Amino acid sequence: MRIGELARELGVSADTLRFYERSGLLPRPPRAENGYRDYGPAELERVRLVLDLRRLDIPLTDAARIAGWCQSGHCAETSAALPQLLRARRAAIRQRLDGLRELDRRLEALEAHLALAPLPMLSDGGPCCDAAAAVELTSVPQ
């Protein structure tokens, strides 16, 4: 299968596949007599696994390493490393979610504060109005 066919099968661009190859994330495939890359079923499955892992937000280098291990029969390494990667990704997601919940709480507090009273203009080098002062007040994490 040529690179364009592989790209269509996997739903990526041929440039993506060339990038993976240039970066050393995928081995160079054999070449046909005409010089075109000639991908087989093993390469298809390896790239498919890399893409599936990337869709789970696994870093590209880790995804390529895991896919390489799978293709070369290093199941013990894959079985040990993949759960660790998944735990790390989940921990990062939980941390991002906690940050987003805190941001939502602060936005909700600011929205409630702004709804309480009319907002006259202020001066003297401080915030331009009560709304800006409220933003400054609620932007400090509590």
- Looking up residue 4, the CATH number of its domain turns out to be 1.10.1660.10
Q: In this structure, is residue 36 part of a structural domain?
A: yes
Q: In total, how many domains does the chain have? A: 1
pTM for this structure? Answer: 0.68
Q: What CA–CA distance (Å, rounded) separates 113 from 51?
A: 46
Of 136 and 81, which is predicted with more confidence?
81
The residue segments making up the domain with residue 65 are 1-73
Structure tokens at 59: 């870093």
36 pLDDT more than 80:
yes
Question: How far apart, in whole angstroms, are the C-alpha atoms of residue 43 and residue 41?
Answer: 6
Whether 36 and 18 have beta carbons less than 8 Å apart is answered as no
Residue 82 lies in a domain: no
pLDDT of 96 above 70: yes
* Of the candidates 91, 87, 20, the residue with the CA atom closest to the CA atom of residue 49: 20
Predicted confidence band of residue 110 (pLDDT cuts 50, 70, 90) = confident
- Domain-embedded: residue 58: yes
Mean pLDDT in the chain?
A: 86
**Domain membership flag for residue 106:** no
In a domain, 90, yes or no: no
The amino acid that residue 26 corresponds to is L
Residue type, 93: I
Q: CB of 44 within 8 A of CB of 10?
A: yes
Q: Is the pLDDT of residue 68 over 70?
A: yes
- Residue 49 falls within a domain, yes or no? yes
Statement: residue 124 has pLDDT above 90: no
